[in-house]
Structure 1
Amino acid sequence: MRRILKVIEYKTEVFLFLFLGFISGVPFLLVLSTLAFWLTELKIANTIIGIFMLTTTPYSLKPLWAPVIDSFNLPILDKFLDIKYSWGILSNILLAVSIIGLGFSDPQNNLWVTVLFASLVSFFAATQDIVIDALRIELTPAHLSGIVAASESIGFRAGMLTSGAGALYIAEYFSWPIAYGSMGVIVVCGSLVFWLLQRLSKVKTQNQQPKINTDRPFLQLFYNSFYNVVSQSYFFPIIAFIFFYKVADTSLNAMSAPFIYALGFSKIEYANISKFFGTTMMICGSLAGGLLVNRWNAYITLKLYGGLQIISASMFIVQTYMGYNSSCLILTLGLESFVSGLGSVAYLAYLAKFCRSSFTATSFTVLYSFGSLFRVLISLLAGWCADYLGWYVLFSLAAGLTAPIFYCLNRVERPRLCK
């Protein structure tokens, strides 16, 4: 009952982070599986699609400008908004414009223009995510981290459903430019959510943020921000954990569209099974993850995720032998989506434990961006592996390389428990 009362006390923040998660989730698939399906439909090779994932590199480079968001006010906007809220609104507007530009880029004839706009979408989406993650950590009490992370994750999955199944339906009955244009219009609503969060939240972040000191050069601020993270004894073990955590998650997500297309499924079948049903299962997994993190903790929940992810990757191996089989695909994608949703909540809550309050944006971003960097590298290797080694080898590697996360988690917790 106490937990329920605490959630009610922070219900405004939980509700608003649900919407911020939604806005964060919309652009994610627009440069991943939705774009991959578009490119696959244009008969572009899997290797090129895998290389195309380099456009998501800004997600990996977020630490380079996270210290700016932690400390620097934006001119004009700082008269009306606190630091992070002004950055959130600016990045949100530019993100919406970039998504619309991506939809009208015509990858059939102007692939480099598509690359440019996909990179801009990733950059502004990554900047917006820096703000959202920092605000979630700053505004959320530790004992509610699982609930708020689950709320944001559910919103994120709903956003993925919108930019996944929704965009595919619009593209099927209208066109890809209209599909992406619609997503841009939806995304720009996030500016209102940022404004409401500042107006309604009980904790004012302006009193927690380090103000810029003009007597100190920016490089020193940059150095101090990073040193607070990389100097910790658990830094390298947790980076290893992030890598192995991302192997199966990335391989299955990045290559699922080409895999399903190769099995002979149509665009609508892909939207119904992978996007609609799959995203629904992700939301169920996020709910389960939030409950488990608050019931146990993120560490135990991540160990459960590891075991389930090995089973999930193994189901894709079964699917390679079953071929075009809707029942098997429903089971395969349903399990993978549920496990992905569960793991993402535990992952967010676990990384939040390692953030320093004075440099919230930088601390979380440094750790989280390693996952984004690994996602890009794994996507490149996954595309090559699918083309030259086959789907069976790809999914076998995904299952096998998930196992080391148990060892890495123990290495991370060992020095913390000793203290």
Structure 2
Amino acid sequence: MHDTALRSWGDSFRAFIHPRVITMLFMGLSAGIPILLIFSTLSIWLREAGVERSTVTYFSWAALGYSFKFVWAPLIDRLPFPILHGALGRRRSWLIIAQCAIIGAILWMGFTDPTENLTTMAFAAVALGFASATQDIVIDAYRIEAADTDLQAMMSSAYIGGYRIGMIVAGAGALTIAGLFEAEGSYEPIAWTIAYGCMALAMGIGVITTLIIREPTVNRTDSKYFHKTSDYGRFLLMFALTVIAFIIANIYASDLTEPLKTALVENGMIDGLAGFIAGFLKLAISVAAAILFAWLTTRIGVTPTGMVQETYVAPVKDFIDRYGKAAIVVLALIGVYRIADIVMGVMANVFYTDLGFSKEEIAAVSKTFGLFMTIAGSFLGGLLSVRYGVVRILFLGALLSAITNILFAIMAHLGPNTIMFAGVIMADNLSGGLATTAFIAYLSGLTNISFTAMQYAIFSSIMTLFPKILAGFSGSVVDALGYSWFFIGTALIGIPVLYLVVLAGRLMTQNTAEKAAHAAAITEDG
């Protein structure tokens, strides 16, 4: 397997106190706060305000920006933000803008009473999702550019640790603050205003960190096109028109996909599969319409063809050129590496409840104890990756993730055994944190500094797409086979991942050797 040489334990532990690593702890906290303010914390607020359960679930769509951030990631890579770019640099200027937008969106939500204006709350939640996804794009790019490959694993572990701490702040922290300002069983909007106001204040940690840190020094290929204000304006116009085309197509595609879903169900297909097919077709139509519109605007001269190619095509071409035949295997590995975790994870809370554990036990063991185990696993993953190399720990993480799913199958036969529950959660979350840290470091090493934000955004989208699609059928599989066989199945589908890790490592080593031989041949000829 392609990897770096072994390092001493002293070097590994010293990486913990590297300034860039400490920086990523605070950046991770800044990234972890917004996500729960859209999901679980907001859900509790809306239910307390009397919003229907079906309406509450729609608010999860506010975070769709996380899945489609690769669409505007090139803008972050290519467009210097006016005025601030000269004062702070490319990454720090976009970070400040994103963080200020997050603070503004959190305050917008905090000062909106969902009982009076649910639509305004929806717009504020969407704004928070978009701003938070933008911050993630910039942080990912900063992390990759701020340190050498050798330090990426520890940077990733610090980021994950900070992210989980941010989730604690926005989850338990926000709920505790809201509880202090309202009576038991009553709904007081001011309590949630104060809670969200405190979360906006907590985002100040990210702002202060951004102002203190130094801009990464990188040798980036400058754009051939983004030099004049008119160029920026034309490109943003094309982007805005394409987004509008996507939204309009998505709305009208329902006229086609809803009858299709009904017809499929009437002909015996399960509702979940019919909904997936209809939803996938709706998304495909919308994406096709957006691509067609982008092509048309380019053809009529709204945006130069070279500008679009440099922004969207060049990052993909660069990746294929650098890795050759290994590129397909690497992309396949990215697409399935987290499959065992994600497919199993979607049924975890339902499993705990069906097994007979109380909400209090689930909260204490899975959410609180498990969260600290994930943080511990992430730092262990960073330490071991620095010591033994990222690819070795990538393999170990995939192996442990598959093995721990077998523990869930055993747990299904034991009933609500709290000791077993804690042991399984410890093993699962430690291995999950370790695997995620190694995986993020691996993805970071695949990017080209010239296209950092775009390439990493593509990788991070690919890594959850197929597993999440497959996870949508988890409930049907459990109904058909039971929990034990379901968990054994999730362990088995993790086995091919081990082969892909080995194969990708071998091909990348071969690719590196071929490039070195080619360079040597050119030198001799010269």
Q: CA separation of 1:413/1:116 partners in 2, compared to 1, >3 Å: closer, same or farther?
A: farther
The correspondence for 1:210, drawn from 222, 241, 258, is 222
Partner in structure 1 of residue 163 of structure 2: 156
Identity, in percent, stands at 31
| Separation of aligned partners in 1, 2:467 and 2:112 | 25
The correspondence for 2:318, drawn from 223, 228, 244, is 228
**Alignment pair present for 1:184 and 2:273:** no
**Does the 8 A contact of 1:160 with 1:279 survive in 2?**
no
Residue 20 of structure 1: how far off its partner (Å): 0.3
User: Aligned-pair RMSD on alpha carbons?
Assistant: 3.7
Which deviates further from its counterpart, 340-349 or 224-233? 224-233
Residue 3 of structure 1: how far off its partner (Å): 2.2
Which deviates further from its counterpart, 102-111 or 80-89? 102-111
The correspondence for 2:442, drawn from 335, 350, 357, is 350
Q: CA separation of 1:316/1:29 partners in 2, compared to 1, >3 Å: closer, same or farther?
A: farther
| Separation of aligned partners in 2, 1:254 and 1:36 | 18
SS in 1 for 2:19: helix
**Does the 8 A contact of 2:12 with 2:383 survive in 1?**
no
Residue 332 of structure 1: how far off its partner (Å): 2.2
Cα deviations across residues 277-314 of structure 1 (Å, max 9, x unaligned)? 11111121112101211111111111111221122222
| Separation of aligned partners in 1, 2:66 and 2:412 | 31
Partner in structure 2 of residue 292 of structure 1: 384
Q: CA separation of 1:270/1:80 partners in 2, compared to 1, >3 Å: closer, same or farther?
A: farther
**Alignment pair present for 1:143 and 2:232:** no
Which deviates further from its counterpart, 362-371 or 102-111? 102-111
Residue 101 of structure 1: how far off its partner (Å): 5.0
Partner in structure 2 of residue 68 of structure 1: 75
Which entry has the higher C-alpha Rg, 1 or 2?
2
| Separation of aligned partners in 1, 2:59 and 2:482 | 20
Partner in structure 1 of residue 64 of structure 2: 57
Residue 369 of structure 1: how far off its partner (Å): 1.8
Q: CA separation of 1:6/1:312 partners in 2, compared to 1, >3 Å: closer, same or farther?
A: closer
Corresponding letter in the other structure for 1:187: M
The correspondence for 2:34, drawn from 10, 23, 27, is 27
Partner in structure 2 of residue 194 of structure 1: 210
| Separation of aligned partners in 2, 1:342 and 1:404 | 19
**Does the 8 A contact of 1:293 with 1:346 survive in 2?**
yes
| Separation of aligned partners in 2, 1:265 and 1:44 | 26
Corresponding letter in the other structure for 1:185: L
The correspondence for 1:241, drawn from 316, 326, 333, is 333
Which deviates further from its counterpart, 14-23 or 69-78? 69-78
Residue 69 of structure 1: how far off its partner (Å): 0.9
Partner in structure 2 of residue 370 of structure 1: 462
SS in 2 for 1:340: helix
TM-score by length of 2: 0.68
**Does the 8 A contact of 1:33 with 1:257 survive in 2?**
no
| Separation of aligned partners in 2, 1:261 and 1:270 | 8
Partner in structure 2 of residue 219 of structure 1: 308
Partner in structure 2 of residue 129 of structure 1: 136
Which deviates further from its counterpart, 362-371 or 118-127? 118-127
| Separation of aligned partners in 2, 1:131 and 1:341 | 22
| Separation of aligned partners in 2, 1:43 and 1:278 | 30
**Alignment pair present for 1:304 and 2:320:** no
**Does the 8 A contact of 2:160 with 2:378 survive in 1?**
yes
SS in 2 for 1:75: coil
Q: Structure 2 stretches of 5 or more lacking a match?
A: 1-7, 183-190, 228-303, 512-526
| Separation of aligned partners in 2, 1:312 and 1:165 | 27
Which structure has more relative contact order (CA 8 Å, sep 6+)? It is 1
Corresponding letter in the other structure for 1:7: A
**Does the 8 A contact of 1:314 with 1:396 survive in 2?**
yes
| Separation of aligned partners in 1, 2:358 and 2:196 | 20
